[in-house]
Amino acid sequence: MSKRESTRYTLLFATAVCVVCALLVSVAAVTLQPRQAASARLYMEKNVLLAAGLLEPGANVTAADVNRIFDERIKVRLVDLATGELVPPDRMDARSYDQRKARGDPTMSRVAPANNAGIGRLPNYAVAYFIMKGDQVDQIVIAVEGLGMWGTIYGFLALDRDGNTVRGLTYYDQKETPGLGGEIGNPKWQALWHGRKGFDDQWNARITVIKGQAGTPEADPLRVDGLSGATVTSNAITRLMQFWLSDKGYGKFLKRFREGKVT
């Protein structure tokens, strides 16, 4: 039997191939990681612009386009969720801050208060995007998330300068059932939120996705049409929205904003 036909040679050859392949995969992963992170951030920032109505659904924009709009129209700040105050901009770069990563870091997060939105940990700081019109804040975009039917739903909610009226929303990462709960990603359904109110007259977070059809935003401001055949997802959206609008989420910050205490 030749050496190349021996069991020992076969095992050594297979091991060498595995080691080389593993090394190549590792090198590729490390080399491509910055590019992957940049692509993920670009995708997320496009969704901020979609929520704010600064991009049309399906628009083809480049990284340069997104950066230009951010430079011209958006101020990114971090919010201390415990106090509702803005974090000094020189303490941490808000635009490069990874809120999802911070949530999983015990040094940058805490156990979330009791909630029915499936949120286990809460980052100490959360991102707020101030959409500017000249020198004035035109709207605010906040990050929202919560447990859906098949996984965590991540999105952005845009509120008018009154800190209450919905200007838009989008979900950039969700695993809901296509054609049912997955319709939360449909721009037609998202458009139904425009003009709705996040809070009732006592400033309690009350926006609700109902079963069936809601009235117009003027006549029925606290309710949004449900998703046919997707009760679990509809309830999940209600819970996560009410959580992030409450004092457990951005509520303290939004109160300070409405009172003109955010600078």
Type of residue found at 55: L
Q: Is the pLDDT of residue 29 over 50?
A: no
Global confidence as pTM = 0.86
Chain centroid to CA 202: 27
10 Å CB burial of residue 137 (0-12, 13-18, 19+) is middle
How much is the pLDDT for 32? 47
Chain centroid to CA 241: 12
Q: What is the pLDDT of residues 248-257, one digit of tens each?
A: 999 999 999 9
Q: From residue 255, how far is each of 51, 163, 260 by CA, in Å?
A: 21, 8, 9
By C-alpha distance, which of 108, 119, 97 is closest to 45? 97
| DSSP reduced 3-state for 192 | coil
The secondary structure of residue 206, as a DSSP letter, is: -
* Domain definitions of the chain by residue range: 3-40, 45-258
Q: What is the pLDDT of residues 207-259, one digit of tens each?
A: 999 999 999 999 999 999 999 999 999 999 999 999 999 999 999 999 999 99
| DSSP reduced 3-state for 2 | coil
Q: What is the pLDDT of residues 111-164, one digit of tens each?
A: 999 999 999 999 999 999 999 999 999 999 999 999 999 999 999 999 999 999
Contacting residues for 252 by C-beta, under 8 A, at least 6 apart: 81, 82, 83, 84
